[in-house]
Amino acid sequence: MKAVILAGGLGTRISEESSSRPKPMIEVGGRPVLWHIMKMYSHYGINDFVICCGYKGYVIKEYFANYFLHMSDVTFDMQKNSMEVHQGYAEPWKVTLVDTGEDTMTGGRLKRVAEYVKNEEAFCFTYGDGVSDIDIGATIEFHRKQGVQATLAAVYPPGRFGALDIAGHQVTTFKEKPKGDGGMINGGFFVLSPSVISLIKDDSTVWERGPLESLARDHQIAAFEHTGFWQPMDTLRDKNHLEELWSSGNAPWKSW
């Protein structure tokens, strides 16, 4: 099975980091968050990736072109103009990098890579800026049993602020960072039939609007409920939170 990853957006809400590189190339623990996402999928045997590039896409291309340099110790012999890689480790990945345009919307990016998934029974689809301890294998199996065109992971949004119950002028309960208001949201981990791409009109189509709304109306989208860890990297605060989790040695998404 293939996994399509959106990696072309501007990342305006984390401009402190994304001004010089695409948002998925912002590092957590010294590795791009895109790498973390690919490692998540690889843990479940998905090693064939289609990356939808856009804003500063050359940074992603250069990263994979020089993957050995990023991941291995090397010796450069300047006189002989040679390079020796020490203890080189290669991921079992096939990575297709597709320029899907700088201003293309999420649906439009998926439509632009239709050629690479048209013969698949189903494929995974996700954003290049969020990590989770979701069981991707279970999500795929769930999708197959539902007999629908699309499955999305339903998650609880991470809480950001302490919630108070107040009676008069007294705080009666305090709950630090509760998880949202009890409602589940789109967690961004999809399993899709290639047929859903026919619902995408052009580059201006936002995947989360027309196509998903149409699938919901036709009862062709199932929800795989995930109650574990899920964290997008929308802001610098989010990025720092992920860094802290990684540094602690207890990153919930690290399944490899």
- Could you tell me which residue, 165 or 226, shows the higher pLDDT? 226
User: What does the pLDDT average to over 79-97?
Assistant: 88
Confidence of residue 164 (pLDDT cuts 50, 70, 90): low
Residue by residue, DSSP assigns the chain as: -EEEEEE----GGGHHHHTSS-GGG-EETTEEHHHHHHHHHHHTT--EEEEEE-TTHHHHHHHHHTHHHHHSEEEEETTTTEEEEES----S-EEEEEE--SS--HHHHHHHTGGGTTT-S-EEEEETTEEE---HHHHHHHHHHHT-SEEEEEEPPPP-S-EEEEETTEEEEEESS--TTS--EEEEEEEE-GGGGGG--STT--TTTHHHHHHHHTT-EEEEE--S-EEE--SHHHHHHHHHHHHTT--TT---
pLDDT at residue 128 in the model: 97
pTM: 0.89
Confidence of residue 254 (pLDDT cuts 50, 70, 90): very high
**Interval 204-243: pLDDT, tens:** 999 999 999 999 999 999 999 999 999 999 999 999 999 9
